């Protein structure tokens, strides 16, 4: 360590200075939160006082009743449809992202210009939040499952393009070099070096995006009027909180199940 | 007739001059060591020979082919005749030993056959045979990530050998190995040169090892070829010229 800040310090001075910096950061965070709280009229105390009332309300209004239970088949139906939509969006986005990553990664690109383009496309698509995408397509395509699909597709596409590009460069660059030196053509290099070395990590990223998308699909459904989000919206707006909460329970259970499956798959792949 | 003729080879990275006007010849079956301090251009030189790096100026003639003029199929075929061995082995570690060795055949294959990994019976037998010569007969179907460094480097040598090369370029092949694995690798390289008459060009940091194995040594300093002679001619003064004034003492014996 020899930055200009720490040059020529004794050990005790070094640690004292470190503690000082830490204290300053903590103090700044506290002050910031207090300032933010005042500005937004948010009082910590109010939240704590409200907790018991919220609990009572939840128990009274939210624990599923007979009616909510009869709706389970319908809810599961919509949930399964939403899950399939998320998986479809993730997988198609992954295929598109793979093509772009192969064009743009340092290891497999045809020309450096493609790297710049790829990075640009990936940053733009990735940094528009999924709900914003949903709104964009809502204006164009109206309320439909397709709108939700497109929103998930573009966010996933941007994220995976970047993840895949980095994976290719990290994992396969050295083997790619060896195969090029042996006279392999570009397609051969991709099939024999890039895919075998980076596929497990790419699949792991895809699983991660499927999980994420199943979670965001609810939110996207709320906005685009499709899938499980739409079902929740209907129950909620017609004040059938018990049925609405049944939807939440179903989502949580299914999401946990998906996460477990996905972790198991990941163990097999990696 | 020389197998490799390098003439006035120059390489710029932006405005860094990595090689300046390098000229030398290598005969068929010769064992040549390239020495020089870090950053003197050794890696750049061997990569220019098989065009992993494009030279800025000069000519490279390998087996009468003008390497700088080659493109596409012709470049692939020329590269197939030049094996390459790396410091970090550069294997696809998730694949098995034999799959990695067969990668050495890709330069001879059509795109489709290469993509699908279709190899002839003859090629597979050759791969197994070469692995046997390198003492890896028990590891043929083992995944490469289960091998030691020395074993991985032998897989790298096997991959180069199934190319049926006329020359093998080695960029610090023993820099990541312990002394005994390093000796095994250098002995195999020597055996390949002596028994198969394949030309060996090896970048190496250890001057004593270079002197022991090579028939000729090329010494580089800041991109200039400053020594080109038999190992016996490498004395205190010439070593100093390659490695700089302070280092001369280190290599005096
Ligand atoms: N891709 C690159 N871009 C810019 N400069 C580079 C690049 N590769 C090498 N250089 C520069 O070219 C010079 C020669 O580098 P080279 O890697 O050929 O040296 P070397 O003799 O192989 O060194 P070492 O013994 O450390 O491997 C160095 O000054 C290095 O910084
Ligand atoms: Mg080097």
- What DSSP element (H or E) covers B145? none
Q: Which fold has domain B1-81+165-253?
A: Rossmann fold (3.40.50)
Touching check for B74 and chain A: CB below 8 Å?
no
Segments of chain A with pLDDT less than 50: 1-2
C-beta separation of A189 from A180 below 8 A: yes
**Which ligand 1 atom sits closest to the C-alpha of B203?**
22
The partner residue sitting opposite A184, judged by closest CB among B52, B78, B106, is B106
Write the burial class of residue B187 (CB in 10 Å: 0-12 exposed, 13-18 middle, 19+ buried). exposed
Rounded distance, CA B133 to CA A40, Å? Answer: 76
Tokens coding A140? 């164009």
Tens of pLDDT, residue by residue over A155-205, are: 999 999 999 999 999 888 999 999 999 999 999 999 999 999 999 999 999
Q: Where are the domains of chain B?
A: 1-81+165-253, 89-163
Question: Is B38's C-beta closer than 6 angstroms to any atom of ligand 1?
Answer: yes
Rounded distance, CA A216 to CA A246, Å? Answer: 18
Residue A148 has what pLDDT? 85
Residue A7 has what pLDDT? 64
Q: Rounded to the nearest whole angstrom, what is the distance from the C-alpha of residue B21 to the centroid of ligand 1?
A: 16
Residues 6+ apart with CB under 8 A from B248: B236, B237, B239, B240
pLDDT band at B250 (very low <50, low <70, confident <90, very high): low
Residues of A in contact with B115 (CB under 8 A): 187-188, 190-192
Whether residues A180 and B79 touch (CB distance < 8 A) is answered with yes
B165: closest chain A residue by CA: A182
C-beta separation of B238 from B219 below 8 A: yes
Whether residues B163 and A191 touch (CB distance < 8 A) is answered with no
Question: Is B18's C-beta closer than 6 angstroms to any atom of ligand 1?
Answer: yes
C-beta separation of A130 from A220 below 8 A: yes
Q: Is pLDDT above 60 for B148?
A: yes
Question: Is B41's C-beta closer than 6 angstroms to any atom of ligand 1?
Answer: yes
Whether residues B108 and A183 touch (CB distance < 8 A) is answered with yes
Compare B111 and A2 and report the one with higher pLDDT: B111
Residue B93 has what pLDDT? 93
Q: Phi first, then psi: give them for residue B39, nearest 5 degrees.
A: 85, 5
Rounded distance, CA A145 to CA B54, Å? Answer: 52
- What DSSP element (H or E) covers A177? helix A145-181
Residues of B in contact with A175 (CB under 8 A): 90-93
Q: Rounded to the nearest whole angstrom, what is the distance from the C-alpha of residue B87 to the centroid of ligand 2?
A: 9
Question: Is B83's C-beta closer than 6 angstroms to any atom of ligand 1?
Answer: no
Whether residues A192 and B79 touch (CB distance < 8 A) is answered with no
Among B71, B84, B115, the strongest candidate for a mutation testing the A interface, having the largest count of A CBs within 10 A, is B115
- Mean pLDDT to the nearest integer, B140-161: 94
Q: Is pLDDT above 90 for B156?
A: yes
Superfamily (CATH) of domain A66-269: MetI-like (1.10.3720.10)
- How many other β-carbons are positioned within 10 Å of the β-carbon of residue B139? 19
Whether residues B94 and A191 touch (CB distance < 8 A) is answered with no
- What DSSP element (H or E) covers B217? strand B216-221
pLDDT band at B247 (very low <50, low <70, confident <90, very high): low
Q: Rounded to the nearest whole angstrom, what is the distance from the C-alpha of residue B89 to the centroid of ligand 1?
A: 19
Whether residues A193 and B80 touch (CB distance < 8 A) is answered with no
- Mean pLDDT to the nearest integer, B36-51: 93
Tokens coding A20? 């000082």
Rounded distance, CA B153 to CA B172, Å? Answer: 11
**Nearest CA, atom 2, ligand 1:** B13
Ranges B23-32, B197-206, B243-252: which has the least confidence: B243-252
Q: Is pLDDT above 70 for B234?
A: yes
**Nearest CA, atom 17, ligand 1:** B43
Q: Between residues 52 and 71 of chain B, which touch chain A (CB distance below 8 Å)?
A: 52
Whether residues A187 and B114 touch (CB distance < 8 A) is answered with yes
Q: What mean pLDDT value characterizes chain B? A: 91
Question: Is B107's C-beta closer than 6 angstroms to any atom of ligand 1?
Answer: no
- Angstroms from B85 CA to nearest CA on chain A: 8
Q: Is pLDDT above 70 for B251?
A: no
Compare A34 and B161 and report the one with higher pLDDT: B161
Say what percent of chain B tops pLDDT 70: 96
B234 three-class SS = coil
The partner residue sitting opposite B92, judged by closest CB among A182, A187, A197, is A197
Question: Is B40's C-beta closer than 6 angstroms to any atom of ligand 1?
Answer: yes
A175: closest chain B residue by CA: B90
């Amino acid at each position: 360590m020899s930055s200009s800040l720490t040059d020529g310090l004794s050990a005790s001075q070094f640690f004292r200075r470190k503690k000082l910096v830490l204290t300053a950061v903590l103090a700044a965070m506290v002050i910031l939160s207090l300032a933010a709280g005042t500005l937004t009229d948010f009082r910590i105390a109010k939240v704590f006082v409200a907790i018991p009332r919220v609990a009572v309300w939840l128990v009274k209004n939210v624990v599923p009743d007979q009616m909510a239970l009869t709706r389970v088949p319908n809810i599961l139906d919509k949930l399964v449809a939403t899950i399939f939509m998320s998986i479809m969006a993730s997988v198609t986005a992954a295929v598109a992202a793979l093509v772009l990553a192969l064009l743009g990664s340092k290891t497999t690109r045809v020309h450096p210009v493609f790297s710049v383009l790829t990075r640009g496309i990936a940053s733009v698509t990735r940094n528009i939040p999924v709900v914003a995408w949903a709104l964009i397509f809502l204006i164009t395509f109206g309320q439909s499952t397709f709108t939700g699909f497109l929103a998930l597709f573009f966010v996933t596409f941007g994220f995976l393009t970047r993840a895949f590009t980095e994976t290719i460069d990290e994992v396969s660059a050295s083997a790619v070099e060896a195969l090029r030196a042996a006279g392999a053509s570009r397609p051969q290099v991709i099939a024999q070096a890039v895919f075998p070395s980076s596929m497990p990590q790419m699949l792991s990223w895809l699983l991660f995006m499927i999980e994420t998308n199943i979670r965001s699909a609810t939110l996207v459904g709320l906005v685009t009027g499709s899938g499980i989000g739409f079902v929740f919206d209907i129950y909620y707006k017609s004040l059938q909180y018990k049925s609405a909460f049944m939807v939440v329970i179903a989502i949580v259970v299914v999401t946990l199940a998906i996460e477990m499956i996905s972790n198991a798959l990941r163990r097999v792949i990696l | 007739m020389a197998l490799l003729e390098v003439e006035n080879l120059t390489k710029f990275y932006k405005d860094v001059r990595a090689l300046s006007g390098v000229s030398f010849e290598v005969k068929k079956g010769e064992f040549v060591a390239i020495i020089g301090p870090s950053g003197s251009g050794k890696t750049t030189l061997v990569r220019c020979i098989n065009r992993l790096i494009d030279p800025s100026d000069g000519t490279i003639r390998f087996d009468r082919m003008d390497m700088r003029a080659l493109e596409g199929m012709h470049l692939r075929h020329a590269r197939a005749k030049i094996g390459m061995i790396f410091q970090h082995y550069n294997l696809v570690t998730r694949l098995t030993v034999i799959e990695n060795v067969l990668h050495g055949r890709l330069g001879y294959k059509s795109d489709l056959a290469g993509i699908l990994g279709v190899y002839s019976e003859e090629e597979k037998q050759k791969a197994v045979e070469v692995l046997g010569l390198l003492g890896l007969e028990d590891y043929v179907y083992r995944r490469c990530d289960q091998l030691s460094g020395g074993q991985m480097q032998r897989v790298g040598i096997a991959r180069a050998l199934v190319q049926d090369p006329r020359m093998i370029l080695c960029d610090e092949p023993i820099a990541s190995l312990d002394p005994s694995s390093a000796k095994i690798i250098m002995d195999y390289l020597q055996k390949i040169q002596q028994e198969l008459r394949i030309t060996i060009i090896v970048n190496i940091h250890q001057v004593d090892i270079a002197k022991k194995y090579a028939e000729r040594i090329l010494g580089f300093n800041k991109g200039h070829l400053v020594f080109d002679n038999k190992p016996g001619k490498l004395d205190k003064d010439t070593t100093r010229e390659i490695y700089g004034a302070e280092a001369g003492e280190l290599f005096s014996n």
